[in-house]
Structure 1
Amino acid sequence: MTPQARSTSGCSEGPYRCVDRFQSLATEDFPGKDTLDKLFQQAVQRFGDSDCLGTREVLSEENEPQPSGKVFKKLILGEYCWLSYQQVDSVVSYMGSGLAALGQQSKSMVAIFCETRAEWMISAQACFRYNFPLVTFYATLGEEAVAFGLNETGVTHLITSTELLETKLKGVLSQIPKLKHIISVDQRRVSTEGYPPGLAIHSMASVQELGPVKPTNVSVTVARPVVSPQPSDLAVVMYTSGSTGRPKGVMVVHSNLTAGMTGQCERIPGLGPKDTYIAYLPLAHVLEMTAEISCMAYGCPIGYSSPQTLSDQSTKIKRGSRGDSSVLKPTLMAAVPEILDRINKNVMRKVGEMSYIQRTLFNLGYNYKLEQVKRGYDAPLCNVLLFSKVRKLLGGRVRLMLSGGAPLSSATQRFMNICFCCPVGQGYGLTETCGAGTITEVADNSTGRVGAPVICCEIRLRDWLEGGYTNQDKPHPRGEILIGGPNITMGYYRNESNGQDYFVDEKGQRWFCTGDIGEIHPDGCLQIVDRKKDLVKLQAGEYVSLGKVEAALKNCSLIDNICAYANSEQNYVISVVVPNQKMLTELARQRGVKGSWEEVCTHPAMEKEVLKEIKEVATSIKLQRFEIPVKVHLSPEPWTPETGLVTDAFKLKRKELKNHYLQHIERMYGRP
């Protein structure tokens, strides 16, 4: 086994560094390009006329009634329309100058609360160029949380979409007294009726028109010259959607991001103009933001999409028309495990609907390729005959997928690797580390691991005695993961006391204490094995890792999502499950259970069926008896970021889930 990382101290706790950058940690990919504005400007010089940002034109939209009575909006979209690097550069200059003309000062913050789209990145680049620190919020964040963040940062200028302005912001604007200007990224005009007096609402186009304004125009402040940022200047205050309560603003300086992206890009061989990246994850997530900035730096075109338009089968794509992947044909794709799990289950459902002969051929081919991949080989004939149709679900050209945001199950990772005929890497990082920590090497065929430290940072393990994890554990050292390096951010905005629990400075090195438990393999690669906040001690003294239980059981065919629950006053684990509607409905039909979807979910016979599968799967993967959920509640409502029950990376919000299902939790524990 070739080492990918080694301990610099020779001790099992580390720190561990990548063997390719053992003597010193990397800080920048392009010499002298130590701020985000310099990074983009060098790309403009290199790739001027090449495609940079692409968006599909909406040809038509219509409302389509569903059998359930709901109405879904369906879209027919055209080809991608592209802006070149030079065109984006011009728009960025006009936008930044226009914001300055509206009174925005250097080193004063601008907020963005918007969906993933080209205008988001253009606005961000304008802020980077003019040294306006950017405050980011997830588009799914609730209005109270957004109001809290806007008041905490005291911003006067906000960039948003018309839809979010009218559906989420309008009702709380009176609670944000310092906000003076709202810029809508949409072309359609916004009526100012019903908005607080003194609040100006502009279109993005009108702000850009202020950029080259003449001094004779006295209706607005004359645009100021560019004040370029320094590496130590604040670039972003990134509000996390937070799996633990009120969102925190993570302070990120330019040098943090250039270092983090240097580490990430080193693990993507050949990144450049021949690639195409499909952008659909939330840009307020550090994984997506750094991925897009990196692609721009290397000349890789970015085509914008959304989870609802990603493929031909996506919910907003009208039947018979093409989803974004089919049109764009991307070569690079980032994903969170929830999306990859969904693709996995959809493909397997279609396999289940095949004839016996087709299904047998698919399984034979899959198992043959699995054996080949484990030996480090490929199966070209299987790729052509069996998996070409599967590959076309994402356009047919994807050469690399990277999963982040949460642990990806080994089963899903291997499935995607085999069926989409490309490496499926895992990355591990956090907002507080600029998304950089570890990433698997393209040539690493193992699953369940998140790779060796990237070249900008190092990792060490800290004993957690309460949970029973130490660096002396056998066969491999284990402990809480600490990440150190120039990518570690400056802490939490106006929350120093909280930051002291997570950020540590030792011997000139800044460390972030992740709260995740890791295990270092002999080749220096990391595996995430637990999370401190997920460990619960049962009444009889056994420790249960709720995250471990959930990761194991999400592969059940009847389960789309699961939240395991336990407390120290009880001696068994329970669970709340979002069932797979198609699979459970079919099973209900076979068992003679009739009624609406809600009635199927509350039927005791269906609860028994799901529990039966849980026990079968748990036993097959050797979960301990006390780890297996004894009771289950089936929830008819899916968990999306919009419900507030999961984050934008689809991590469970345990507190919100507990409160939401408290009545059912008490029922399962036998309380009146």
Structure 2
Amino acid sequence: MAKRIKAKPTSDKPGSPYRSVTHFDSLAVIDIPGADTLDKLFDHAVAKFGKKDSLGTREILSEENEMQPNGKVFKKLILGNYKWINYLEVNRRVNNFGSGLTALGLKPKNTIAIFCETRAEWMIAAQTCFKYNFPLVTLYATLGKEAVVHGLNESEASYLITSVELLESKLKAALLEINRVKHIIYVDNKTINKAEYPEGFEIHSMQSVEELGSKPENSSIPPNRPTPSDMAIVMYTSGSTGRPKGVMMHHSNLIAGMTGQCERIPGLGPKDTYIGYLPLAHVLELTAEISCFTYGCRIGYSSPLTLSDQSSKIKKGSKGDCTVLKPTLMAAVPEIMDRIYKNVMSKVQEMNYIQKTLFKIGYDYKLEQIKKGYDAPLCNLLLFKKVKALLGGNVRMMLSGGAPLSPQTHRFMNVCFCCPIGQGYGLTESCGAGTVTEVTDYTTGRVGAPLICCEIKLKDWQEGGYTVHDKPNPRGEIVIGGQNISMGYFKNEEKTAEDYSVDENGQRWFCTGDIGEFHPDGCLQIIDRKKDLVKLQAGEYVSLGKVEAALKNCPLIDNICAFAKSDQSYVISFVVPNQKKLTLLAQQKGVEGSWVDICNNPAMEAEILKEIREAANTMKLERFEIPIKVRLSPEPWTPETGLVTDAFKLKRKELKNHYLKDIERMQIVIGSWHKGILLVLNTANICAGYRVYEEEIDLRAVRNAAEAPRIVHALRQWKSTGPIMYLTYCWMNQACTKILATLTRRPSLLRYKGREVSPACPLKVFRIAFHEHEEQRVTAPDC
């Protein structure tokens, strides 16, 4: 199927947009006739599936605290079965909640914000806003205080929907900084002490607002319905590249985007069950759930902490959400699939020789069958049934989005979970729509052809070396056009003008900042990201995302962030290690102590660095792309830490600030010192990838040559900790020459290109041989 043409350019001119061959003459803008707004989609679903189960939530049977080995206390849950409400009940609650908000004073086209975890009440609130024409401002539940305050104040929302947990934690501390919010509605069936909150805020339960709306004098007032050009959502981004931006989405934008997405999911209908656990503030999850609701799929709610039997909040011996719900459809970000892949392969490594051999034979056989377009039912039954059961056993299709999915993980999910992976590409700005692979396309590394709602073109990026004239395939910055393109950034005309454009036909386009390549069959491959590309000191370009993707599936690594600077000639990395595997390795190496001690141990850093090099060579990274240093983080990067987004994308700015001191210690500063500064480094640490011990001595403070022996003696005190490297910006006065001459009496200490360095050598910087097997390359003039 990979050879069949799925999309083609609209003309022979290089850089022309690619369109799906199934909608080549015109782009699709609507799926269900007459349903051109989100409230009409909702009404259509209610009328068609009225008494069918719609939204489901598991009841909490018991909670208990469990002490972890690291001293932290985790809350463990025992959950019951899913309790369902049908479409008619959802409709009743939507009408009551909308009438209640109207009775409280909320006017059509006035914004209302939601800052809440993924749950049924989130979807009920959203459908209410769509029906009553209240533009919904969405904020990730994991955003920090500053980002939440920014979003609420910028959007001028006077009503806020949240949960008790968020109200009592993040919001309580931020209320005095929020300017416009007057009404706070919490969705839980709990009570709170309103006296603990500042004056000026009216706090209501969602249930009380619904009861208010059910009163005859309020329920008799019909909703003010939206038009396709009305604002449906102001969706604040996760802030992966800085302060969150509000993306303005009209009803028509979302309708077009979901029209394209649904076309790539064959057989979507009432027999399906979808598990909702990703943030509903993320465009992928929101559009997926609205689409499922529209087509009669049950939606069972979950969370990443209760998803499987092994999830951190599930009490050992009890069942996770997938086991109980048995979903047929689910969306996932690559980070979650990578975790599943590593966990399963870890179990495989623990098998005995015969079991391991059988698994490998079966895996390889099925992989070959998949590549030919066939299945392997016997392997599915005998080898992969237990693996498939991790997600309930009934998943028929998974949708991956939010970041590139590695080929290894993609193949693993195909083989072991016995279902196709629809790898998609889209952005908040495109309402999540861009491309999705067809279920019959089992190639990896690609994201499919353009959806029927949009067209995609490539634009030259000369600085990065990508052009539409490249051979064998055109490459360049990805630009998406169509009715699914949002209206711009809320109250940010400058950024809107920078990223959005409108052509002579009135079609909107969005410049994504991602670099793509179109294959001959019209499928797109994401090959780079402009913001992830760093030009090193010697002129080589390093794609940090490419480096991370190549290394993140190392068994010892749970997460990795690569870092480079244009004034340096190398890459360094920060790694969240796999606690189970690294702890076991530490025991084998005789390294003792707490988890923090293990992560700070130089020997463990060296082991991680060794694995990085092996994986880099396997993935054929260039030498300059391979990290030469590593720092281990004992704490995982979660959305709660603010170091990754809810889709687990790295927040590079926050990571850089978090590890700034480590970055400074890890840098090998070469050729950029002030005149007369001698830098002393412990090179034993450098060679092993350890943090560097540094001390600067200002040679300008050395007044005469007589002081040189004292300086040399002081320098040699460090010899006991390992070989010492001496670098200097060779501004030679008599004292500096004397010091250098004394040091270079031992050729093993200071060499340039294998030769002993002469004190009279007019070098500005030296090449230093750390050990025979390791040499840091720097640019230097010849002697």
Q: TM-score range by the shorter chain?
A: over 0.9
What is the aligned partner in structure 2 of residue 548 from structure 1?
546
What is the aligned partner in structure 2 of residue 76 from structure 1?
78
What is the aligned partner in structure 2 of residue 420 from structure 1?
417
What is the aligned partner in structure 2 of residue 97 from structure 1?
99
Q: Which of the numbers 546, 559, 562 marks the counterpart of 1:561? A: 559
Contact conserved, 2:99 with 2:219, CA < 8 A, in 1?
no
What is the aligned partner in structure 1 of residue 278 from structure 2?
281
Q: Which of the numbers 133, 155, 158 marks the counterpart of 1:156? A: 158
Q: Which of the numbers 168, 171, 190 marks the counterpart of 2:170? A: 168
Offset from partner CA, 1:432-469 (integer Å, 9 cap, x none)? 00000000000001001000000000000000000000
> For residues 32-43 of structure 1, what are the structure 2 equivalents within 5 Å?
32-43=34-45
What is the aligned partner in structure 2 of residue 626 from structure 1?
624
Cα–Cα, structure 1 residues 393 and 574, in superposed 2: closer, same or farther, change >3 Å? same
Contact conserved, 2:272 with 2:297, CA < 8 A, in 1?
yes
> For residues 358-397 of structure 1, what are the structure 2 equivalents within 5 Å?
358-397=355-394
* Letter of the structure 2 residue corresponding to residue 115 of structure 1: E
Cα–Cα, structure 1 residues 223 and 49, in superposed 2: closer, same or farther, change >3 Å? closer
What is the aligned partner in structure 2 of residue 498 from structure 1?
495
Cα distance in 1, alignment partners of residues 475 and 219 from structure 2: 59
**2:477 corresponds to 1:475:** no
Cα distance in 2, alignment partners of residues 349 and 357 from structure 1: 16
Unaligned runs of 5+ in 1: 216-220
Q: Which of the numbers 111, 124, 136 marks the counterpart of 1:134? A: 136
Cα distance in 1, alignment partners of residues 221 and 547 from structure 2: 56
Contact conserved, 1:391 with 1:420, CA < 8 A, in 2?
yes
Contact conserved, 2:460 with 2:476, CA < 8 A, in 1?
yes
Cα distance in 2, alignment partners of residues 335 and 136 from structure 1: 20
What is the aligned partner in structure 2 of residue 110 from structure 1?
112
Cα distance in 1, alignment partners of residues 650 and 214 from structure 2: 47
Cα distance in 2, alignment partners of residues 188 and 212 from structure 1: 20
> For residues 303-382 of structure 1, what are the structure 2 equivalents within 5 Å?
303-382=300-379
* Letter of the structure 2 residue corresponding to residue 351 of structure 1: V
Q: Post-superposition shift, 1:153?
A: 1.1
> For residues 179-258 of structure 1, what are the structure 2 equivalents within 5 Å?
179-215=181-217, 224-258=221-255
Q: Post-superposition shift, 1:389?
A: 0.2
Q: Post-superposition shift, 1:155?
A: 1.0
Contact conserved, 1:562 with 1:577, CA < 8 A, in 2?
yes
* Letter of the structure 1 residue corresponding to residue 282 of structure 2: H
Cα distance in 2, alignment partners of residues 555 and 212 from structure 1: 53
For the residue of structure 2 that corresponds to 1:302, the secondary structure is: strand
**2:585 corresponds to 1:587:** yes
Offset from partner CA, 1:314-348 (integer Å, 9 cap, x none)? 11111111100000000001000000000000001
For the residue of structure 2 that corresponds to 1:116, the secondary structure is: coil
Cα distance in 1, alignment partners of residues 13 and 61 from structure 2: 61
Cα distance in 1, alignment partners of residues 668 and 74 from structure 2: 40
**2:127 corresponds to 1:119:** no
Q: Tell me which moved more, 63-72 or 313-322.
A: 63-72
Contact conserved, 2:59 with 2:79, CA < 8 A, in 1?
yes
For the residue of structure 1 that corresponds to 2:134, the secondary structure is: coil
What is the aligned partner in structure 2 of residue 485 from structure 1?
482
* Letter of the structure 2 residue corresponding to residue 30 of structure 1: I
For the residue of structure 2 that corresponds to 1:210, the secondary structure is: helix
Tell me how many residue pairs correspond in the alignment. 667
* Letter of the structure 1 residue corresponding to residue 272 of structure 2: D
Cα distance in 1, alignment partners of residues 121 and 340 from structure 2: 28
What is the aligned partner in structure 2 of residue 218 from structure 1?
none
Q: Percent identity?
A: 71
Output the aligned Cα RMSD: 1.0
Contact conserved, 1:91 with 1:122, CA < 8 A, in 2?
yes
Moved over 6 A (4+): none
Contact conserved, 2:595 with 2:634, CA < 8 A, in 1?
yes
Cα distance in 2, alignment partners of residues 579 and 509 from structure 1: 47
Q: Post-superposition shift, 1:70?
A: 1.2
Cα distance in 2, alignment partners of residues 126 and 172 from structure 1: 26
Offset from partner CA, 1:365-414 (integer Å, 9 cap, x none)? 11111111111111111000000000000000000001000111011011
Q: Which of the numbers 657, 662, 665 marks the counterpart of 1:664? A: 662
Contact conserved, 1:237 with 1:252, CA < 8 A, in 2?
yes
Contact conserved, 2:260 with 2:452, CA < 8 A, in 1?
yes
> For residues 375-454 of structure 1, what are the structure 2 equivalents within 5 Å?
375-454=372-451
For the residue of structure 2 that corresponds to 1:466, the secondary structure is: helix
Contact conserved, 2:182 with 2:200, CA < 8 A, in 1?
yes
Contact conserved, 1:295 with 1:301, CA < 8 A, in 2?
yes
Cα distance in 2, alignment partners of residues 526 and 131 from structure 1: 37
Cα distance in 2, alignment partners of residues 518 and 35 from structure 1: 32
What is the aligned partner in structure 1 of residue 597 from structure 2?
599
* Letter of the structure 2 residue corresponding to residue 642 of structure 1: E
For the residue of structure 2 that corresponds to 1:211, the secondary structure is: helix
Cα distance in 1, alignment partners of residues 66 and 240 from structure 2: 35
**2:556 corresponds to 1:574:** no
Unaligned runs of 5+ in 2: 670-693, 695-783
Q: Post-superposition shift, 1:670?
A: 3.4
Contact conserved, 2:240 with 2:651, CA < 8 A, in 1?
yes
Q: Post-superposition shift, 1:196?
A: 1.8
Cα distance in 1, alignment partners of residues 65 and 197 from structure 2: 29
For the residue of structure 2 that corresponds to 1:226, the secondary structure is: coil
Contact conserved, 2:96 with 2:219, CA < 8 A, in 1?
no
* Letter of the structure 2 residue corresponding to residue 494 of structure 1: K
For the residue of structure 2 that corresponds to 1:582, the secondary structure is: helix
Offset from partner CA, 1:8-32 (integer Å, 9 cap, x none)? 1123422000000000000111011
What is the aligned partner in structure 1 of residue 536 from structure 2?
538
For the residue of structure 1 that corresponds to 2:573, the secondary structure is: strand
Offset from partner CA, 1:219-266 (integer Å, 9 cap, x none)? xx8984310000000000000012111110000000000000000000
Cα distance in 2, alignment partners of residues 529 and 495 from structure 1: 29
For the residue of structure 2 that corresponds to 1:44, the secondary structure is: helix
* Letter of the structure 1 residue corresponding to residue 565 of structure 2: N
* Letter of the structure 2 residue corresponding to residue 205 of structure 1: Q
What is the aligned partner in structure 2 of residue 521 from structure 1?
519
Which of these two proteins has the greater Rg computed from alpha carbons? 2
**TM score, norm. by length of structure 2:** 0.84
Q: Post-superposition shift, 1:198?
A: 2.1
Cα distance in 1, alignment partners of residues 220 and 620 from structure 2: 66
Cα distance in 2, alignment partners of residues 370 and 155 from structure 1: 52
Offset from partner CA, 1:62-114 (integer Å, 9 cap, x none)? 11112221111011111110000000000000001100000000000110000
Q: Post-superposition shift, 1:214?
A: 4.4
Q: Tell me which moved more, 506-515 or 523-532.
A: 506-515
Cα distance in 2, alignment partners of residues 177 and 442 from structure 1: 48
Q: Tell me which moved more, 139-148 or 228-237.
A: 139-148
For the residue of structure 2 that corresponds to 1:348, the secondary structure is: helix
Cα distance in 2, alignment partners of residues 623 and 670 from structure 1: 22
Tell me which of the two structures has the higher relative contact order, counting C-alpha pairs closer than 8 angstroms and 6 or more residues apart: 1
Contact conserved, 1:100 with 1:224, CA < 8 A, in 2?
no
Contact conserved, 1:211 with 1:223, CA < 8 A, in 2?
no
